[in-house]
């Protein structure tokens, strides 16, 4: 039976995912999230995604459909404000697990209850479908809980 953090529901989903991996790993062994039963689904999808820089039209279409996102300094950008630090950190934990599963990591900044996220694919020198995919998953997190 999994044990949950005393801070409650904010961290429980992320800790439950981590706990699944921790049960299978000896203490001190690095966890292999790329082979985690839940997280590896995204990684396999991203491995097969061809890296091509998105066109301006594709970027504008994405922004029109996902109004929380904008473009700043040639990066997809979004900013969230939560009720407190615990909610902000919980959100970042959830995003970190998904980002690791996709092998695509955000540039982000946290100050107390604020989280700013920038997405860019350095391999193509701009925004790609990989950024759109991670942005959609981040948006799903916020739509489900916050």
Active-site pick, 36, 100, 107, 140: 100
**Residue 87 CA to its chain's centroid (Å):** 15
> The dihedral of CA 100, 102, 104, 110: what is its sign?
negative
Active-site pick, 36, 87, 131, 133: 131
Is 36 catalytic? The answer is no
Is 100 catalytic? The answer is yes
Active-site pick, 56, 72, 123, 140: 123
Active-site pick, 32, 105, 107, 140: 105
Is 73 catalytic? The answer is no
Nearest to 88 by CA among 20, 145, 5, 21: 145
Structure tokens at 65: 């459909």
Is 123 catalytic? The answer is yes
Active-site pick, 36, 77, 104, 133: 104
Q: CA-CA distance, 140 to 106, in Å (whole number)?
A: 16
Other CB atoms within 10 A of residue 78 CB: 20
Annotated catalytic residues are 100, 104-105, 122-123, 131
């Amino acid at each position: 039976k999994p044990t949950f953090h005393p801070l409650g529901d904010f961290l429980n989903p992320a800790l439950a995912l981590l706990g699944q991996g921790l049960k299978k790993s000896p203490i001190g062994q690095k966890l292999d999230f790329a082979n985690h039963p839940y997280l590896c689904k995204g990684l396999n999808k991203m491995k097969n995604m061809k890296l091509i820089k998105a066109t301006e039209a594709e970027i504008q279409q994405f922004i029109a459909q996902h109004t929380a996102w904008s473009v700043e300094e040639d990066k997809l950008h979004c900013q969230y404000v939560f009720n407190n630090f615990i909610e902000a950190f919980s959100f970042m934990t959830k995003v970190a697990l998904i980002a690791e599963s996709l092998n695509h990591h955000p540039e982000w900044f946290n100050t107390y209850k604020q989280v700013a996220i920038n997405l860019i694919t350095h391999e193509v020198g701009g925004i790609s479908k990989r950024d759109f995919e991670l942005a959609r998953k981040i948006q799903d997190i916020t739509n489900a809980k916050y």
